[in-house]
Amino acid sequence: MSATTESTGRRVLAALRRDPLAVGGTIVLALLVVVGVAGPWLAPAGVNDVDVDQMLRPPSGAHPFGTDELGRDVLSRVLVAARVSLQVGAVSVGIALVAGVTLGLLAGYYRGWLDSVLMRCMDVLFAFPVLLLAVAIVAVLGPGLLTAMVAIGVVYTPIFARITRAGVLSVREQVFVRAAVSIGASDLRIMRRHVLPNIAAPLIVQTSLSLAFAILSEAALSFLGLGIQPPAPAWGRMLFDGRGFVTDAWWLGVFPGAAIFLTVLAFNLVGDALRDVLDPRQLTLGEARRSTP
């Protein structure tokens, strides 16, 4: 993977740099990752440092995001909760991506009864409203971080399976796939080398969108009390706890809400930009010249 991958990587970076929205999204994501890793050390106070004298204080120098009904520092809780949100997003989308792409590849490449069985199962999953299905899975497995991640992963699997299958169906009829068959390439090799790279663009976009939706879903599950269990901080749970104080303590809802909003927006911006630059057919003339001496 030496020279080719490097040059592709450089090309993607160069193209991303020209798109101001993508730059913004990338910076926000980078900050989020830093916060996700270092949150507990960045936080000015402990997440569960209760101080009843400081209950429901508006944003101030001591508490930039104010304090909640138990006097806990909202900034600290928002910072620490970033890790959980990112973790849920990455793990659940990882589950959905691996499972969905595998099932979609098998269904689209081999067609026949396998296709029918797999895709009908996906249709059944797809027919449920996202949250209802997630709630049902959590209800069976019991609430908690791990089950929330599994539930969200299962919920988003059919989307990946469908996108993959649709792509495989069109790519497998291409002459270059027939050419690969003619030179005796194995099915696995054809899928890995010829089919997957050609359907990577929609998958990458879907991944970034799904990361955003997964974080929202986790927030919703936590909001319903089915995700992260208190007192551990989670953005969705903080929104839930803040809803009773909307009129007299707006900061309880606004800051975790803004964190969710920024994260989702950043993933979407980066996903859009990636879609545009990852397709080599969309190389600009200048880039094409540079890469062919």
Partner 1 sequence: MSERTERMPSPRRHPMTDSTVLSVDDLTVTVGTRNGPVRAVAGVSWQVRPGETFALVGESGSGKSMTLLAATGLAPRAATVTGRVRLLDDELTALPDDRRRKLRGRHVGFVFQDPMTSLNPVLPVGRQVTEAAEEHLGLTRRAARDRAVELLELVGIPSAAGRVDAYPHQFSGGMRQRVAIAMALACEPDLLIADEPTTALDVTTQAQIIELVADLQARLGTAVVWVTHDLGVVAGIADTVAVMYGGRIVEQGPVDAVFDTPTHPYTRALLAARPDPSRRGEDLVAIPGSPPSPLDLPPGCAFWPRCPVRADPRCEHELPPLTPVGDGHTVRTFYRGEAG
Instruction: Give the residues lining the site for partner 1 (CB under 8 A).
Output: 1-4, 7, 174-176, 178-186, 189, 193-194, 197-198, 200, 279-281, 283, 288, 291-293
Q: Identify which of residues 60 and 282 has a Cβ nearer to partner 1 in the complex.
A: 282
Q: Identify which of residues 49 and 287 has a Cβ nearer to partner 1 in the complex.
A: 287
Q: Identify which of residues 127 and 183 has a Cβ nearer to partner 1 in the complex.
A: 183
Q: Identify which of residues 262 and 283 has a Cβ nearer to partner 1 in the complex.
A: 283
Q: Identify which of residues 87 and 198 has a Cβ nearer to partner 1 in the complex.
A: 198
Minimum CB separation from partner 1 for residue 240, in Å? 45
Q: In whole angstroms, what is the distance from residue 278 CA to residue 8 CA?
A: 8
Q: How many CB atoms lie within 10 A of CB 117?
A: 11
Minimum CB separation from partner 1 for residue 114, in Å? 14
Whether the upstream peptide bond of residue 293 has omega within 30° of 0, thus cis, is no
Minimum CB separation from partner 1 for residue 272, in Å? 19
CA pseudo-torsion sign 123, 124, 125, 127: positive
Q: In whole angstroms, what is the distance from residue 277 CA to residue 293 CA?
A: 21
Q: Identify which of residues 192 and 243 has a Cβ nearer to partner 1 in the complex.
A: 192
Phi, psi of 67 (to 5 degrees): -130, 160
188, 192, 195, 200 alpha-carbon torsion, rounded to 10°: 150
Q: Identify which of residues 193 and 243 has a Cβ nearer to partner 1 in the complex.
A: 193
Minimum CB separation from partner 1 for residue 191, in Å? 13
Q: Identify which of residues 9 and 58 has a Cβ nearer to partner 1 in the complex.
A: 9
Sequence letter at residue 161: A
Sequence letter at residue 49: D
Minimum CB separation from partner 1 for residue 157, in Å? 25
Sequence letter at residue 125: L
* Residue with the two structure tokens 């006097």: 71
What are residue 67's DSSP bridge partners? 73
Which residues contact residue 203 at a Cβ distance below 8 angstroms, ignoring those fewer than 6 apart?
97, 101, 160, 163, 164, 167
Minimum CB separation from partner 1 for residue 283, in Å? 8
249, 215, 128, 275 alpha-carbon torsion, rounded to 10°: 130
Phi, psi of 44 (to 5 degrees): -70, -25
Minimum CB separation from partner 1 for residue 193, in Å? 7
Minimum CB separation from partner 1 for residue 118, in Å? 19
